Amino acid sequence: DTEVTQTPKHLVMGMTNKKSLKCEQHMGHRAMYWYKQKAKKPPELMFVYSYEKLSINESVPSRFSPECPNSSLLNLHLHALQPEDSALYLCASSSRPGLNNEQFFGPGTRLTVL
Amino acid sequence: AQSVTQLDSQVPVFEEAPVELRCNYSSSVSVYLFWYVQYPNQGLQLLLKYLSGSTLVKGINGFEAEFNKSQTSFHLRKPSVHISDTAEYFCAVSEEAGGTSYGKLTFGQGTILTVHP
């Protein structure tokens, strides 16, 4: 299995809602990443998990809360989001943290905040 | 810190014509280089990568890229494009250990390739 899966594909939420994005990989990778991508822009790194521990947080607002329950699973918990948080959220994984950093990306979750 | 510049935001070409998408990078240490493709409403797919060794790298879908250390460039080429190559292409760089951005992948702003019939 050489893919990264993400659920849901689309999510619409209000500013008071709480929702979660899910990412899964079964390639034995020990680094996982969350990116945010706005239209016609490159992905922006949000968080990096290295051996299930948060290793990089790119000054992301606390309304985004990552979680890595095990080596295959990565969640992003969302609470009290703003309309400007609407974007494509991409998950990625790589075999070892920092090792050449070839990352495998999931298809993304298209988030709309009303 | 590392940075990536993609010199063209949009490149229109006709089908079966050759294409070159340009990428320059900046880093104080040695780097690994990647080209990713993103089709509309999809995630990123790796086209090719340069880690070490031969500076001419061949990837999927007939694409190739050449690493030029003296010019800090990693341009992507295809000798004959198809309509299906229409997509956005991102150049990305990752620093070897010792760099201040170690562990991160930095993307260029992207180049939209549009292939016309």
Q: Tell me the nearest-neighbour CA distance from A54 into chain B, angstroms.
A: 12
Distance CA A91, CA A101 (A): 14
In contact, A36 and A59? CB cutoff 8 Å: no
Subunit contact B104:A55, Cβ cutoff 8 A: no
Q: Tell me the nearest-neighbour CA distance from B109 into chain A, angstroms.
A: 5
Closest residue in A to B105 (Cα) is A101
Query: Which B residues, 58 through 87, put their C-beta within 8 Å of a C-beta on chain A?
Result: none
User: Does any CB of chain B come closer than 8 Å to the CB of residue A87?
Assistant: no
User: Residue A1: its pLDDT value, please?
Assistant: 63
Subunit contact A107:B43, Cβ cutoff 8 A: yes
pLDDT in tens, B55-82: 999 999 999 999 999 999 999 999 999 9
User: Which of B43, B104, B105 is closest, CB to CB, to A106?
Assistant: B43
Distance CA B117, CA B95 (A): 39
User: Which of B43, B46, B90 is closest, CB to CB, to A108?
Assistant: B43
* Residue B43 with chain A: CB contacts under 8 Å: 4, 6, 90, 105-108
Give the CB-side neighbour count of residue B24, counting CA atoms within 13 A: 6
User: Which of B34, B51, B107 is closest, CB to CB, to A42?
Assistant: B107
* Residue B102 with chain A: CB contacts under 8 Å: 98
Instruction: Tell me how far the alpha carbon of residue B104 is from its chain's centroid.
Output: 16
pLDDT in tens, B30-42: 889 999 999 988 8
User: Residue B101: its pLDDT value, please?
Assistant: 57
Q: Which two tokens stand for residue B83?
A: 């309509």
Per-residue exposure over A40-73, b if at least 16 CB sit within 10 Å of its own CB, e if not: eebbebbbbbbebeeeeeeebeeebebebeebbe
User: Does any CB of chain B come closer than 8 Å to the CB of residue A104?
Assistant: yes
User: Does any CB of chain A come closer than 8 Å to the CB of residue B42?
Assistant: yes
User: Residue A5: its pLDDT value, please?
Assistant: 96
pLDDT in tens, A39-66: 989 999 999 998 999 988 889 999 999 9
Confidence of residue A102 (pLDDT cuts 50, 70, 90): confident
Strands B3-6 and A109-113: unpaired
Distance CA A16, CA A37 (A): 22
